[in-house]
């Protein structure tokens, strides 16, 4: 068969599956095309941790056989995807993005990957990530076994967050979709920086069995994909109770945006200061256009702000303490010194010194935050804010470098929504909404626990009348 056209690599799940069912091409042909592209371009972006060619072709042949016999398992059947390298695949290296674990081979497969295999999805590769998903904190984008993950829109910029390989691979058309994880911003940031759609599910909705633990009370696994619709199709498969995950909520998810409340009945909370002052000046025009689009869909807006709490301090202390406990052996053995980022090494060590009193105080404040967010979301159905306030950072600059010379706004608005939403375990949907100096920007929709269908219904309508999620980055860099 002739080479598949370029458009294939940027097609959505339903389109690809429909063409597979019609036998326009086989799952093996589609998988080989994606594998060739991933193996060729993935290293150029530092996005590929491990190609799984043999496994992928076995899964693709099985998908072809079932499609031929009309044993159709749903829209993910035969679809090539990638997984962040903190998800274990039995018998293959799972490095967690870190040198001390470069040769780690586990004998079990993560629940989410087994669920995807059961519906015929094809895992073609493990994708690069920040070391230990950023546990302990890090200062440089190069804090990864593969080096800094480059943004397909501008390779002098970072792909963002610890799920950087997942974001870059989807944006560059190396996989149809990818799984990432978020403890605090690791799905939302690469989705925003790379111009793809990302979904952070409600805490406990998706099993974490077989995933590296960073923070037991905050880790979440979710998809990065072409559209809100694709995210819904993926979440339907990977969600559900799991006795192997003690934090599992025991709930399933069925993607049914057609049964969501009419958009004109939804109340949206927003803070004008987020878009007028916190956002970078170059990003403000398209952020405001995104708000106009949401209003045109019939959503009713109301000004809100987060109550005053030390959101970032609380989130940081909990993650640092739980992360240091998870990696205690690494720290006490001295192997932590093999990590690439000096700040991360120091942060992990410091996490072991946090007192039980301080950790429990942070958890008590967290409970207060959850209660206040519950009250806020009783008055509105969705909170909307910039997913990030501006463009992807340069890989040559430290991540803590201040971007603006202007003073910080006095009104916090919803600026702490990332920390607050993760502390409360709330779902978030990231939607590309424009560009700032030719780099993608995005808004995020945050809702009540287990309100994913509402968020996805709004996201689908937003993407029906906009085309930001269909934009492609420039041609990849030469070898």
Q: So which residues are the catalytic ones?
A: 84, 162, 186
CA 76 → CA 195, 230, 414, distances in Å? 22, 9, 36
Q: Which tokens belong to 358?
A: 């301080």
Give SS3 for 436.
Answer: strand
Backbone angles phi, psi at 239, to 5 degrees: -80, 175
CA atoms of 62 and 55, how far apart (whole Å): 11
The encoded tokens of residue 383 equal: 């909170």
C-alpha triplet 251, 197, 479: angle, nearest 5°: 130
What DSSP letter does each residue of 390-411 carry, written as one string? SPPPBTTS-TT----SSPPPS-
What is the distance, to the nearest Å, from the Cα of residue 166 to the centroid of all Cα atoms in its chain? 7
CB 53 within 8 A of CB 110: no
Q: Which residues, including other chains, have CB under 8 Å from residue 24's CB and lie 6 or more apart?
A: none
Helix residue ranges, H only, 132-269: 164-171, 188-194, 228-238
**Residues sharing a CB contact under 8 Å with residue 390, sequence separation 6 or more, in sequence order:** 279, 280, 282, 283, 403, 436, 441
| Cα–Cα nearest to 95, from 396, 340, 348, 397 | 340
Please, are residues 318 and 362 in contact by the beta-carbon 8 Å criterion? yes
Residues 475, 5: Cα–Cα separation, whole Å: 15
Where b means 16+ CB within 10 Å and e means fewer, 214-232 reads bbeebbbbbbbbbbbbbbb
Q: What are the contacts of 275-280 at 24+ separation with CB within 8 A?
A: 275/386, 277/409, 277/411, 278/386, 278/389, 278/409, 278/413, 278/415, 279/386, 279/389, 279/390, 280/389, 280/390, 280/391, 280/403, 280/404, 280/436
């Amino acid at each position: 068969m002739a080479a598949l056209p370029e458009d294939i690599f940027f097609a959505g799940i339903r389109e690809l599956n429909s063409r597979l069912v019609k036998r326009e091409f086989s799952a093996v042909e589609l998988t080989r095309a994606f594998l060739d592209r991933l193996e060729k371009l993935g290293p150029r972006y530092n996005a590929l941790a491990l190609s799984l060619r043999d496994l992928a072709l076995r899964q693709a042949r099985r998908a072809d056989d079932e499609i031929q016999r009309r044993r159709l398992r749903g829209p993910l059947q035969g679809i090539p995807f990638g997984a962040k390298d903190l998800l274990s695949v039995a018998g293959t290296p799972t490095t967690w993005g870190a040198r001390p674990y470069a040769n780690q081979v586990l004998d079990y497969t993560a629940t989410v990957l087994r669920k995807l295999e059961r519906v015929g999805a094809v895992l073609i590769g493990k994708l690069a990530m920040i070391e230990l998903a950023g546990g302990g904190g890090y200062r440089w984008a190069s804090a990864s076994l593969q080096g800094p993950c480059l943004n397909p829109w501008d390779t002098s910029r970072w792909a963002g967050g610890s799920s950087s390989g997942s974001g870059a691979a989807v944006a560059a058309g190396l996989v149809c979709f990818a799984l990432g994880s978020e403890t605090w911003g690791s799905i939302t940031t690469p989705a925003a920086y790379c111009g793809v759609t990302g979904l952070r599910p409600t805490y406990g909705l998706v099993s974490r069995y077989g995933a590296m633990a960073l923070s037991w009370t905050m880790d979440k696994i979710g998809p990065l994909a072409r559209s809100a619709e694709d995210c819904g199709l993926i979440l339907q498969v990977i969600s559900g109770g799991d006795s192997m995950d003690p934090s599992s909520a025991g709930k399933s998810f069925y993607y049914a945006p057609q049964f969501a409340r009419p958009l004109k009945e939804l109340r949206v909370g927003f803070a004008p200061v987020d878009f007028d002052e916190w956002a970078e000046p170059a990003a403000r025009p398209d952020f405001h256009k995104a708000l106009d689009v949401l209003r045109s869909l019939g959503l009713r807006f109301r000004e809100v702000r987060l109550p005053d709490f030390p959101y970032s301090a609380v989130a940081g202390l909990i993650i640092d303490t739980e992360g240091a406990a998870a990696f205690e052996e690494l720290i006490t053995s001295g192997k932590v010194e093999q990590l690439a980022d000096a700040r991360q090494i120091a942060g992990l060590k410091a996490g072991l010194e946090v007192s039980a009193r301080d950790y429990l105080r942070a958890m008590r404040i967290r409970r207060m935050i959850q209660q206040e967010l519950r009250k806020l979301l009783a008055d509105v159905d969705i909170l909307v804010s910039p997913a990030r306030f501006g463009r992807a950072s340069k890989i040559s600059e430290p991540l803590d470098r201040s971007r603006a010379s202007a003073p910080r706004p006095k009104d916090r608005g919803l600026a702490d929504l990332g920390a607050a939403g993760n502390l409360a375990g709330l779902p978030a949907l990231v939607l590309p909404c424009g560009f700032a100096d030719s780099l993608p920007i995005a808004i995020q929709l945050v809702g009540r626990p287990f309100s994913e269908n509402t968020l996805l219904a709004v996201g689908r309508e937003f993407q029906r009348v906009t085309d930001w999620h269909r934009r492609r980055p420039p041609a990849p860099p030469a070898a």
